[in-house]
Chains A and B, each alone.
Chain A
Amino acid sequence: MNEQLAYTIEVFANGLMAGVLYALVALGFVLIYKASGIFNYAQGVMALFAAMTLVGIQNGQVPFAHLINAIFGTDVHKFGWHVHSFLAIALTVLVMIALAWMVQRFVFRHLVGQEPIILFMATIGLAYFLEGVADLMWGSELKALNVCASEGACLPQGMNVWLEGTTYEALGYGFFIDNLDIVASIVAVILVAGLVIFAQYTKQGRAMRAVADDHQAALSVGVSLNFIWVLVWSLAGFVALVAGIMWGAKSGVQFSLSLIALKALPVLMLGGFTSIPGAIVGGLIIGVGEKLFEFLIGAPFLGGATENWFAYMLALLFLVFRPQGLFGEKIIERV
């Protein structure tokens, strides 16, 4: 098999995997946008916050330890216990639900009926606020994150040896794919399937879709808007936690984790803000597109690191021709 072609296919496959991770973040955006019309810029910071909380709980860190030490002159850092990963995840989910309730109660309840762009700017403020709180709570240093079911049974790291061996024997070229990416893809598929089932077949899911369709009509048949919004923010928090675990296990938990929100934005523009399949397809297109562009054009001709802007340019060009994205609802303007 042609070496160059095989390598291109490998880049393609890696792009698909990266795209799945983008889609995972984009999913959180779509959930909130559909139900409340809020474009939640803070989604990336929520992923960071969730991942930091998870690590903090796992390691038994005292929340706000630095601040407490600075104010009271004490010297506390850790409780001195380690929490099992699953329990820690459950606790983090509780924290994210509490966060969702607070965001709804103290911020967006007061902004109902405002213009979308005002809501968007409020979420930028929320992103800064959450980032500051996360740093104050758990400290801003780089942390390693791993989720273990039991001793030695953690999320796999490194590349998949089996796949490389098999493809080498079959095709004469060993494909190099991260174990973690494979796990992330599987998790993403399960998550999406779960969300779709939840939205289609449960009572709360139906209420959620009703709210997304028409706020007033949903209110008039007795759906509690407040509850649905808290529910949606909690779901987005949960998706953020999953994304945070995957990205955090891959490259450590640090500030740059919150920048994945910026990666998810072009995905949304491409796929449309209101469509779950759009988020997935958009994520895959962006993931594959930027890896292939970097490999075929960026690195040889443009000096590399084109991944920073390629997705945006692609989305920008795309939007000029189709302003609502691939799967978005048609934008109809009335005076």
Chain B
Amino acid sequence: MFYREAGDFRTTYAEDQQTFPIKFDRYRYYLVLFIAIVVVPFVVNDYWVNSLLLPFLIYAIAAIGLNILVGYCGQVSLGTGGFMAVGAYTCYKFMTGVDIWWGGELLFRLPEFNIFFSVIMGGVMTALVGVLFGLPSLRIKGFYLAVATLAAQFFLVWLFNRVSWFYNYSASGQISAPERDIFGVLLTGPSVQPWAAYLFCLFFTITCAVIARNMTRGASGRKWMAIRDMDIAAEIIGVNPLKAKLTAFMVSSFFIGISGALFFSVYLGAVEVGEAFGITKSFLVLFMIIIGGLGSIFGSFAGAAFLVLLPVALKVVGVDWFGWPTDIVAHLQLVIVGGLIIVFLIAEPHGIAQLWRVAKEKLRLWPFPH
């Protein structure tokens, strides 16, 4: 009734193969895009952008990336934090000009990159590192692999902590983003306009989502899913596991790297690697895709939104309304997140995305039961 496809005839292959073949879906998608691009930048203020919208957009990118690897290709990774750190530090190095040393002398220094290309470079470099750490996935599977990706997590964090070249020899060991702009609009640094930061992240989020959506419903996505469902059978029907697994690692790490670069440069401005990109970050993104829905792009958004909103909502309810101490609310949050993970895994292993699908199906039939 509310949601229907009756009278929605598709007469060409192009119409049949578009991302949203149902008219209602398509218009809703355009409406969301319209609101996000045209309306929101005019109404947001600093609080909304910094505590809700930016983390949501950035985590959504990371969740899409991890979902490609875990949800579509079935390779569980716990190294997300480390890969985000690669994106952040690469972005920082390219923003400030990469300096190459040889034998104690400065060999040459690249010019400082524009912030846009720095973020892209963050993604590219992370993709390379991801492929490197993805290589063992050809030999080891399941949670052996999950534990192996922890090696990436700990090694990378240690690397960025100890090798001072990565943080340009600063005394504090932190990296902080210098002021950078595109076409005169400031994007990093302390005096950024909220709408500018929002639009910059939004651009990356939409682009990544469109790329991911199209990759996952195309040939590469089908190969990933074949590997996920049964890798030996996939091999027999002609999927090259080497290529499929490594491309999944590459694409996934690319997105995660971009989200790490944005997380550092636009959202936080200054980070300390162990704090910002520790193992808890890996788990947070993993929780997002479990709650949101494994193997669903919409689920990545839903999970990111849920886990960004939850602490804020808990803080408002617990601290502001009830006046509880903040540490109790923080502990309650752990209990609730952990409990939700278990509840979702038991009751709805496909997450919020599946609830959404069921709701759509109900709306399609309403008011009739069948």
Interface positions of A (Cβ within 8 A of B): 39, 66-67, 70-71, 107, 110-111, 114, 116-118, 120-122, 124-133, 135-136, 140, 262, 265-266, 268-269, 302-306, 308-309, 312-313, 315-316, 319-320, 323, 333, 335
Q: Is the CB of B338 within 8 A of A126?
A: yes
Given contacts A70-B324, A140-B327, 7 further A-B contacts (CB under 8 A): A66-B328, A110-B346, A262-B150, A266-B147, A305-B158, A308-B154, A320-B139
* Contacting residues, chain A, for B151 (C-beta < 8 A): 266, 309, 312-313, 315-316
* Contacting residues, chain A, for B97 (C-beta < 8 A): none
Q: Is the CB of B136 within 8 A of A111?
A: no
Specify which of A127, A129, A323, A333 lies most central, judged by the most chain B CB atoms within 10 Å of its CB.
Answer: A129
* Contacting residues, chain A, for B332 (C-beta < 8 A): 132, 136
Whether B233 is near chain A, meaning CB under 8 Å from some CB there, is: yes
How long is the Cα–Cα vector from A319 to B232 in the complex, in angstroms?
20
A142 to chain B, nearest CB (A): 14
Whether B311 is near chain A, meaning CB under 8 Å from some CB there, is: no
Closest A residue to B327 by CB, please name it.
A140
Specify which of A120, A121, A315 lies most central, judged by the most chain B CB atoms within 10 Å of its CB.
Answer: A121
* Contacting residues, chain B, for A309 (C-beta < 8 A): 151, 154-155, 158
0/1 string, B323-334, CB within 8 A of A gives 1: 011011001111
Chain B interface residue count, Cβ-Cβ cutoff 8 angstroms: 49
Interface secondary structure of A, over-half rule: helix
* Contacting residues, chain B, for A132 (C-beta < 8 A): 331-338
Residue from B136, B339, B341 within 8 A of A124 (CB atoms): B341
Whether B20 is near chain A, meaning CB under 8 Å from some CB there, is: no
* Contacting residues, chain B, for A70 (C-beta < 8 A): 322, 324-325, 328
Whether B148 is near chain A, meaning CB under 8 Å from some CB there, is: yes
- Known A-B contacts A128-B338, A312-B148; the reply to A303 vs B162 at CB < 8 A is yes
Closest A residue to B290 by CB, please name it.
A121
* Contacting residues, chain A, for B146 (C-beta < 8 A): 117, 120
Whether B144 is near chain A, meaning CB under 8 Å from some CB there, is: yes
B131 to chain A, nearest CB (A): 15
Q: Is the CB of B162 within 8 A of A302?
A: yes
Q: Is the CB of A117 within 8 A of B76?
A: yes
Q: Is the CB of B155 within 8 A of A129?
A: no
| CB under 8 Å from chain A, chain B span 115-165 | 136, 139-144, 146-148, 150-151, 154-155, 157-158, 161-163
Q: Is the CB of B136 within 8 A of A319?
A: yes
Specify which of B141, B158, B230, B342 lies most central, judged by the most chain A CB atoms within 10 Å of its CB.
Answer: B342
- Known A-B contacts A110-B346, A121-B290; the reply to A265 vs B334 at CB < 8 A is no
Residue from B142, B158, B233 within 8 A of A117 (CB atoms): B142
Closest B residue to A45 by CB, please name it.
B338
Q: Is the CB of A128 within 8 A of B334?
A: yes
Specify which of B232, B283, B327, B338 lies most central, judged by the most chain A CB atoms within 10 Å of its CB.
Answer: B338
B299 to chain A, nearest CB (A): 15
Q: Number of residue pairs across A and B with beta carbons under 8 Å?
A: 140
Closest B residue to A103 by CB, please name it.
B342
How long is the Cα–Cα vector from A323 to B136 in the complex, in angstroms?
10
Q: Is the CB of B333 within 8 A of A335?
A: no
Q: Is the CB of B331 within 8 A of A124?
A: no
Q: Is the CB of B346 within 8 A of A133?
A: no
Whether B250 is near chain A, meaning CB under 8 Å from some CB there, is: no
Q: Is the CB of A312 within 8 A of B154?
A: yes
A246 to chain B, nearest CB (A): 23
Q: Is the CB of A39 within 8 A of B143?
A: yes
Closest A residue to B154 by CB, please name it.
A309
Q: Is the CB of B342 within 8 A of A140?
A: no
A40 to chain B, nearest CB (A): 11
Closest B residue to A131 by CB, please name it.
B334
How long is the Cα–Cα vector from A114 to B347 in the complex, in angstroms?
12
B280 to chain A, nearest CB (A): 10
A25 to chain B, nearest CB (A): 14
Closest B residue to A119 by CB, please name it.
B345
* Contacting residues, chain B, for A124 (C-beta < 8 A): 283, 286, 341
A–B Cβ pairs within 8 angstroms, 23 of them: A66-B327, A70-B324, A111-B345, A117-B76, A117-B146, A120-B143, A122-B346, A124-B341, A125-B342, A128-B283, A128-B334, A130-B338, A136-B332, A266-B151, A302-B162, A308-B157, A309-B158, A313-B155, A315-B151, A316-B136, A319-B136, A320-B139, A335-B230
* Contacting residues, chain A, for B21 (C-beta < 8 A): none
| CB under 8 Å from chain A, chain B span 206-232 | 230, 232
Q: Is the CB of A129 within 8 A of B339?
A: yes
How long is the Cα–Cα vector from A126 to B344 in the complex, in angstroms?
12
Q: Is the CB of A304 within 8 A of B328?
A: no
Query: What 3 A-B pairs come out closest when comparing CB atoms?
Result: A125-B341, A129-B338, A132-B334
Q: Is the CB of B341 within 8 A of A265?
A: no
* Contacting residues, chain B, for A110 (C-beta < 8 A): 346
* Contacting residues, chain A, for B290 (C-beta < 8 A): 121
